[in-house]
Amino acid sequence: MALKKKPVTGMKDMLPQEMEIRDYCVGLIKETYKSFGFCSMETPCVEHIENLCSKQGGDNEKLIFKILKRGEKLRIEEAREESDLVDGGLRYDLTVPLSRYYANHANELPSPFKALQMGNVWRADRPQRGRFRQFMQCDIDILGEASNLAEMELILATTALLGKLDFHNFTIRINDRRFLKAMAAYSGFEESEYDKIFITLDKVDKIGLDGVRAELEENGYAKESVEKYLEIFQEITDDVEGVRRCGKKLEGYLPADASVSLEEIMTGVESAKEADFRICFDPTLVRGMSYYTGTIFEISMDEFGGSVGGGGRYDEMIGKFTGQDTPAVGFSIGFERIVMLLLERGFRIPAAGSKKAYLLEKNLPRETVLEALKQARADRAAGRQALVVNMKKNRKFQKEQLAEQGYQEIIEVYASEK
């Protein structure tokens, strides 16, 4: 059987140019988030299958790469159901593993715990632009803080990072799951139908409000309820005043503190932000994860044409492990999409120190080679990046390649002066 050169569908090899930008982004992410007090932590890439299939991951639970039991535990001939064969899976996000981690180590962690976690996750999804089956996630979460300060800190830290990567004029869209439920109740829908209605509403960016109307009516919902529901979105503006008006309209259906909470987050972020962006109220924002209980938010960028990050509050997830609910809220940037956009715009990493290359002529005396290595060592000690390589036949092309890689100074070393 012939070996295959290309990677598995939905996964990719990364060339040095991309890796350089990825490494730069990872360093900047850690530096920025740690300046906000977030602590690095890590969980295994393999998680218990019971945790991954706990009905907290929405559609992602259909996309799990499952792992067979090993050794004597794997008895295929005796298996009657999947649980007889499978005991683990590759994590599809970092939030479920973080919740297990916190439940296991809460007594050893500060409170509130500001977590920074980066790592690969896997989903058996259909690959497309900016979407892979293996991809890096970058999450910050605050566990044990019930106040709006957690949401504000997450949004400010994330947007500060994007500003440092030279992203401008992007939008933070914000909503609250409690608004979604209140709007559905106000319109006369049955509570058992909420999730189905939200799935249709989540398509509004693709099919518009008219498409949402048509799909809801096609699914058998009363026309009066559908019209009452859609009127809300047509009447509400995307600013703080829109939050107030929506809260007033939903009185009796919406918890009293929900609109006040959203207003405080929006005004707080607006007054303390570092980067160039706008935060807007979007009552159509759904977020697919079923574990969200309150505030939800997404990052939208015109140059991508969709979301490049998102998150929200999930106060009930940790309680599924411990029996006691813990306030929790997180924000994840779309690391792969951010890197893709940087590559497409020809992003250049700011020079931290000069890059110098020594090109060695073929068959140099040993002493000359050692002298070049000593000079390179001195350069590195002075904070420069120094590369020592043999000279190629096509010296002009080699120097052009090195220049593209950012080497500002190229020294040609010969046995004798030419």
Residues 105/43, Cβ–Cβ less than 8 Å: no
Can you tell me which residue has the tokens 């409690």? Answer: 178
Clarify whether residues 129 and 151 are in a common domain. yes
Clarify whether residues 379 and 335 are in a common domain. no
- 6 part of a folded domain: no
Clarify whether residues 243 and 108 are in a common domain. yes
- 237 part of a folded domain: yes
Residues 332/321, Cβ–Cβ less than 8 Å: no
Structure-token pair, residue 321: 């492990």
DSSP 8-state secondary structure symbol assigned to residue 57: S
Residues 143/113, Cβ–Cβ less than 8 Å: yes
Instruction: Choose the final residue of a domain: 311, 344, 377.
Output: 344
- 38 part of a folded domain: yes
- 78 part of a folded domain: yes
Largest Cα–Cα separation, the chain: 91
Instruction: Tell the burial category of 80 from Cβ atoms under 10 Å away from its Cβ (0-12, 13-18, 19+).
Output: exposed
Clarify whether residues 158 and 241 are in a common domain. yes
Side chain identity, residue 367: E
Instruction: Choose the final residue of a domain: 344, 369, 394.
Output: 344
Instruction: Choose the final residue of a domain: 294, 317, 344.
Output: 344
Residues 51/171, Cβ–Cβ less than 8 Å: no
Clarify whether residues 319 and 364 are in a common domain. no
Kindly tell me the sign of the dihedral angle through the C-alpha atoms of 201, 331, 41, 109. negative
Clarify whether residues 363 and 339 are in a common domain. no
Q: How many CB atoms lie within 10 A of CB 243?
A: 28
- 350 part of a folded domain: no
Clarify whether residues 339 and 382 are in a common domain. no
Q: How far lies 145's CA from each of 96, 158, 179, 328, in Å?
A: 18, 18, 21, 7
Clarify whether residues 372 and 289 are in a common domain. no
Clarify whether residues 324 and 382 are in a common domain. no
- 391 part of a folded domain: yes
Clarify whether residues 168 and 203 are in a common domain. yes
Provide the domain count of the chain: 2
Q: What are phi and psi of 66, to 5 degrees?
A: -90, 150
Q: By three-state DSSP, how is residue 331 classified?
A: strand
- 253 part of a folded domain: yes
Clarify whether residues 366 and 319 are in a common domain. no
Give the structural domain span for 75.
16-344
Give the chain's end-to-end CA distance (angstroms, integer): 53
Residues 176/286, Cβ–Cβ less than 8 Å: no
- 140 part of a folded domain: yes
Report the CATH number at residue 282. Answer: 3.30.930.10
Q: What is the pLDDT along the chain (418 residues), one digit of tens a residue?
A: 889 999 998 899 999 889 999 999 999 999 999 999 999 999 999 999 999 987 776 677 888 999 987 766 667 666 666 666 788 999 999 999 999 999 999 999 999 999 999 999 999 888 887 788 999 999 999 999 999 999 999 999 999 999 999 999 999 999 999 999 999 999 999 999 998 999 899 888 889 999 999 999 999 999 999 999 999 998 889 999 999 999 999 999 999 899 999 999 999 999 999 899 999 999 999 987 678 999 999 999 987 777 899 999 999 999 999 999 999 999 999 999 999 999 998 888 876 667 899 989 888 888 898 898 998 899 888 888 889 999 898 989 999 888 888 788 898 988 865 4
Clarify whether residues 254 and 399 are in a common domain. no
